[in-house]
A and B are shown apart, each in its own frame.
Chain A
Amino acid sequence: MSKNKLSRLLPCLAAGAALLLAASPATVVAQPPPPGTPPAGAPGAPPPGAPPGGFKFPGLPRQGFDNNGQNPASYNADEKAAVAVAEKWIETINSRDADGHMALIADNILFRADPTQQPMRGARKYCSHMVGIGGAPSPEVNTSFTMSELYVVGGKGEAQVLFYRHDINGPAGTAGFLGGYRVPVAVFLRIRNGKVIEWYDMPTNKISIGALPFSIPTGMADRIPPQCAKFPEGST
């Protein structure tokens, strides 16, 4: 690059850098923290972007008098363990960790992947179903699940988890008209002793099979792929 060109480029870069610095939070004039506030980064310090100490959120309008949320710090041991299982359930689907996923599943699990289905029993059928929808035992299917809301209730060795999941069942152009579409699904997991004993999926919008104006055969779990034959059948 000639000296002439460089001399023209440098002011542009300098101006850009100045703009970025001006817009960055570091240039905002810092207000002194209230007395007693732990220094940033110290245990107990508010996260970046949190309201200043002493600020109280005004009450939001509400109709009911029940609690509609919980602080994870207040989970009891069963709830904490169940949330870990729920996170692992998602994680093993996304990482295509079939063995890790099936290790979370009780032999006699009761499950239903869509409300239009009758509940089914057993880890073998569960495994078969997960192959069908691109779950853990199916590395070739480009599925991605994310979790956006979660609530847990439990105690004495058992807990129930309700969470909101958004599924990408494959890139656009695949998975039928679902390709690339974020499918919102409410998920209920009942967990006992670290294993999922019940699983119900409920698509919340009209992408749900039950909401479609035509019927779709849902007999995937009746076909047992070889990799699922090792799991127990379950009993009613």
Chain B
Amino acid sequence: MSQMKRRRVHWTALAAVASLMIGGVAAPARALSYLYATEKPEYFFNPFEESAAQAVRAWFASWQSGNPLLLGAFVDPKVTFRSRPSESLGHGRDNLLREVCGSLGGKRNLIDLFVIGGDYDAAVLTRWEETDTKGQVSHMSSFFRVQKGLIVEWSDMSDDAVSPAAKGAGNSDACRAVDTALHPAS
């Protein structure tokens, strides 16, 4: 065996021993660790997640303001939605605005927001509370899907045993504003 070959054998042996000592070869990897993050500071958001988070915050802000047309500015015209857990899915921004206009306004406190997104789609789960005029607090969560800064999917879910009562006041100022915007006088 040449000197060079002997050196190669020695270093191969050394590498094998080192690998065994640090576990690189001997330790079989687990198929699934179930280790995952449950906290994602906003500083870690990628730009798509940041954009989605801002759209959802704007949703809450405009809802609280009572202005349906401002709310609609953050919603995709082809949105899929469900305003109450017991209802079936609705489609389209116009229908969404007609459905929620009577419920807008009031105190909505956004507590938690968690976003997962990339360059095509982002999903957002929120925890929030609503306080009605009698001081009754409802604990709610909402799921949003956001694309390019617009909400393309929204559904509300109640985290109380009983969902809050619908507040439909079909002739409110907000609903009149929606009607006017959707059916402008010719």
Contacts and interface: CB of A to CB of B under 8 A. Distances in A.
A190 interface: yes
Nearest to B162: A156
Contacts of A215: none
Interface string A49-73: 0000000000011111011111110
Interface in A59-117: 60-64, 66-72, 87, 90-91, 94, 115
Contacts of B121: 115, 186, 202-204, 208, 210
Contact of A155 (B124, B152, B160): B160
Contacts of A190: 157
A9 B8 CA distance: 11
Interface in B33-89: 33-34, 36-43, 48, 50, 53-54, 57, 88-89
B1 to A, nearest CB: 9
Interface string B116-128: 1111111111110
A153 B18 contact: no
A37 interface: no
A202 B121 CA distance: 7
A210 B120 contact: yes
A160 B117 contact: no
Nearest to A61: B43
Nearest to B39: A69
A157 B157 CA distance: 12
Interface string B74-116: 0000000000000011000000000000000000001111111
A204 B111 contact: no
Contacts of A15: 14
Contacts of A62: 41-43
Interface SS, A side = mixed
Contacts of A204: 48, 116-123
B31 interface: yes
Interface residues of B, number: 57
Contact of B38 (A71, A146, A206, A208): A71
B53 A64 contact: yes
Given A115-B145, A154-B159, A162-B114, A202 B42 contact: no
A197 to B, nearest CB: 10
A188 interface: yes
A51 to B, nearest CB: 16
Interface string A106-132: 000000000100010000000000000
Interface in A123-171: 144-151, 153-160, 162-164
Contacts of B143: 160, 162, 188
B140 to A, nearest CB: 9
A27 interface: no
A153 B124 CA distance: 12
Contact of A20 (B18, B33, B36, B141): B18
A62 B118 CA distance: 19
Contacts of B31: 94, 144
B185 interface: no
Contacts of B36: 147-150, 163-164
Interface of A: 5, 8-9, 12-13, 15-17, 20, 60-64, 66-72, 87, 90-91, 94, 115, 119, 144-151, 153-160, 162-164, 184, 186, 188, 190, 202-206, 208, 210-211, 236
6 contacts: A13-B17, A17-B21, A67-B111, A144-B32, A160-B141, A160-B143
Interface of B: 6, 10-11, 13-14, 17-18, 21-22, 31-34, 36-43, 48, 50, 53-54, 57, 88-89, 110-127, 139, 141, 143, 145, 152-153, 157-161
Given A16-B18, A153-B127, 15 more contacts: A62-B41, A63-B53, A67-B111, A69-B40, A69-B41, A69-B114, A87-B34, A147-B36, A153-B159, A162-B125, A186-B123, A188-B143, A203-B120, A204-B123, A210-B121
